[in-house]
Amino acid sequence: MSTRSRDWLALHQRWRRPFQIGFWAVVLSVEAVFNTVVTGSTCAKAPARFPCGNRPRGS
């Protein structure tokens, strides 16, 4: 590794952890939104007599 790249890493090392936290917060938020959309579309197609989340066992 060259001296120049080591200097760059040393300079930006303090930003690594906040960036990681922000990255994972965004990833988990996108997954939660996607899951909510899919669940909502599935519940919209469910029969009226069995509202989503209140299905009898075995079905």
DSSP string, 38-54: HHHHHHHHS-TTS-TT-
What is the pLDDT confidence band of residue 29, given thresholds at 50, 70 and 90?
Answer: very high
Domain that holds residue 37: 17-44
The percentage of residues in the chain with a pLDDT greater than 70, rounded to a whole number, is: 64
Lowest mean pLDDT among 6-15, 19-28, 43-52: 43-52
Q: How many domains does the chain have?
A: 1
Q: Is 23 part of a structural domain of the chain?
A: yes
Structure tokens at 9: 């890493």
Q: Is 21 part of a structural domain of the chain?
A: yes
pTM, entire model: 0.60
Distance CA 23, CA 29 (A): 10
Q: Is 33 part of a structural domain of the chain?
A: yes
What is the pLDDT confidence band of residue 45, given thresholds at 50, 70 and 90?
Answer: confident
Q: Is 3 part of a structural domain of the chain?
A: no
Q: Is 49 part of a structural domain of the chain?
A: no
Q: Is 34 part of a structural domain of the chain?
A: yes
